[in-house]
Structure 1
Amino acid sequence: MSQYEIADVDRSAVNSSQVIELELVGADREVLDIGCATGYLGSALAEQGCTVTGVEYDAEAAERAREVMSEVVVADLERSDLTELFPGRTFDVVVLGDVLEHLMHPEQVLASAVRLLAPGGSVVVSVPNVAHGSLRLALLQGRWDYRETGLLDRTHVRFFTRQGVADLLRAAGLRPVDVRAVVLDPLEVEVDVDADALPWAVVDWVRKQPDAYTYQFVLRAVPGEDDGTPFPEPVPAVPLPERDDAHTERGRIEAALHAPTVGRGDIVDEVIELRHRVLTLRDHAVGAEASVGAARNSVARAQAAERHARAELERQLAEIKSTASWRVGTKIVSPLARVKRVVRGS
């Protein structure tokens, strides 16, 4: 059984890529579902009056998909050109739901899908967002743990941010016209995050960053040249949740602590300048202390040299006094010394 099998698409689960894809495809269309797995999306599209053809790598999954789809071709997208798989055929919509991240060259597959579009046709794509808040937090803790499914599915070979998706579409000659987002809290997905071990208020900060709640991008794009129009802001499938937990409370406290400096760049600059001056004075003090220490060492070495010289002089003098010459000289000089004292006294 395919690890990506879904029994049925739950249309009430509006915050899911499959339900969004059904809406973006519409009704009564000729559809090519690339990476159709066991046909769960194709079956739901058929309920909307669509005629669905599929492409699937897994032969067993493809066999099951044939039960609910008009045709399923088994093919390796890395080795096959879609136009060769379906010569002379076109489709109103080509769907690539959570497929492109599994391909080494997704831009080539996407470009070949464009060539299969009928006039006025479009491509519907869903890809996971590698900038989701859970992965940002996990990376702060040095974690990048692959799993069987999810954002870090072990078979993912390409990873996309919002800008990455925009670049991919542009490379394939596509222009996004409707961009949605499956949104999930960074602490409520399969990625392992030890939130309480993170620095103060980090979770609250990450939650507030662009695309931190975006788990998947789901979009419809049409052929068109890049006209410089910015990538559309993704529309959340459901309203973003209002959080009020320990992490939001930490964020409020952090904001209150920083409130006095908001909009006061002069105060921040002054603090930075004062800190710089303190560090400079500290460095000077350390340098002066080192100089004093060096001078003390020089004095100590000089005193030691003086003591050594005196000891050497005393040793040499003692050796001289112990010689016969010194003793004879002393006997000769001593009377003369006495005469000098007598003469000086008179």
Structure 2
Amino acid sequence: GYFDCIILADILEHLREPGLTLKKLKGYLSQDGVIVASIPNVRYFEVLNMLAEGFWTYTEAGILDRTHLRFFTRREIEKMFTEAGLEITGINYNLDPRYKEIPPESTTLSFGRVTINGLKQDELMEFFVFQYILRAKKVPHHNDRGTASDLKDELDRLEEYLRAHPADPDALYRYADVCYRLGRSDRAVESLERLLLFVPDHEGANRLIERIRESTGVS
């Protein structure tokens, strides 16, 4: 991949298949790249109170924004990222200030006609979260070089990207590397030569093209 950071600011809840989107975007991340996402929390107590009263009323903005297609709790967010092959490395939240009024030893939450018992403190806090903000990275393959299927999928994504950005040095280098690992040395050399037209002193490209020529005789 070739992006160090992909930001999904209140995006995933607007998509029909957010999990599939995450899987696709993962392929565009660089080795140490991260996805930063903000996602509203449908477990927020005012939403549950509304539901308990028999309402699910959409609004112009907020958790029940009328353009939202998907709704998430923290557990569902974690599940979605895990299934997409992403590891959450940090999570923060926008918290309703009324949470500060809850005694630290409390295990019960009451609002409207709803009472929930047996809550741990971190679980109780989730009912006051408006929005989660998280950071995630790719889960490394057991084989860092990736399977042939993984590499072919990445090659397709790179080709699509390069059609729109034919002079992107990072994408050209990654494309050459993937081609070489798939045994397509001629295409790797072609990509590296194009890269070196834009960045003649690209150290990685010069090393890789020399290695390919030494090992295959491709010129």
- Provide TM-score, normalisation by structure 2: 0.53
Counterpart position of 1:149: 61
Q: Say whether 1:198 aligns with 2:109.
A: no
Q: 1:112 to 1:217 in 2, by over 3 A?
A: same
Q: Say whether 1:220 aligns with 2:132.
A: no
Which letter does structure 2 place at the counterpart of 1:115?
G
Which letter does structure 2 place at the counterpart of 1:198?
G
Aligned length: 129
- 1 CA distance for matches of 2:137 and 2:25? 11
Counterpart position of 1:124: 36
- CA-CA distance at 1:210 after TM superposition: 4.2
- CA-CA distance at 1:198 after TM superposition: 2.8
Note the alpha carbon deviations across 1:69-124, whole angstroms, 9 max, x for none. Answer: xxxxxxxxxxxxxxxxxxxx721100001000000100111111111111211100
8 Å contact from structure 1 (residues 176, 220) kept in 2: yes
Q: Say whether 1:95 aligns with 2:7.
A: yes
Kindly name which structure, 1 or 2, has the bigger radius of gyration based on alpha carbons. 1
| CA-based RMSD | 3.0
The sequence identity of aligned pairs, in percent, is 31
More strand by share: 2
- 2 CA distance for matches of 1:176 and 1:137? 30
8 Å contact from structure 1 (residues 137, 203) kept in 2: no
* Structure 1 residue runs of 4 or more that deviate by more than 2 Å after TM superposition: 201-206
Counterpart position of 1:110: 22
8 Å contact from structure 1 (residues 132, 186) kept in 2: no
- CA-CA distance at 1:126 after TM superposition: 0.8
Note the alpha carbon deviations across 1:294-322, whole angstroms, 9 max, x for none. Answer: xxxxxxxxxxxxxxxxxxxxxxxxxxxxx
- Provide TM-score, normalisation by structure 1: 0.34
Note the alpha carbon deviations across 1:259-314, whole angstroms, 9 max, x for none. Answer: xxxxxxxxxxxxxxxxxxxxxxxxxxxxxxxxxxxxxxxxxxxxxxxxxxxxxxxx
Instruction: Extract unaligned runs of 5+ from structure 1.
Output: 1-88, 188-196, 227-346
Q: Which structure is richer in relative contact order (CA contacts within 8 A, separation 6 or more)?
A: 2
Q: 1:186 to 1:140 in 2, by over 3 A?
A: farther
Q: 1:93 to 1:140 in 2, by over 3 A?
A: same
Instruction: Extract unaligned runs of 5+ from structure 2.
Output: 100-110, 142-219
What secondary structure, in the 3-state scheme, does the structure 2 residue paired with 1:127 have?
Answer: strand
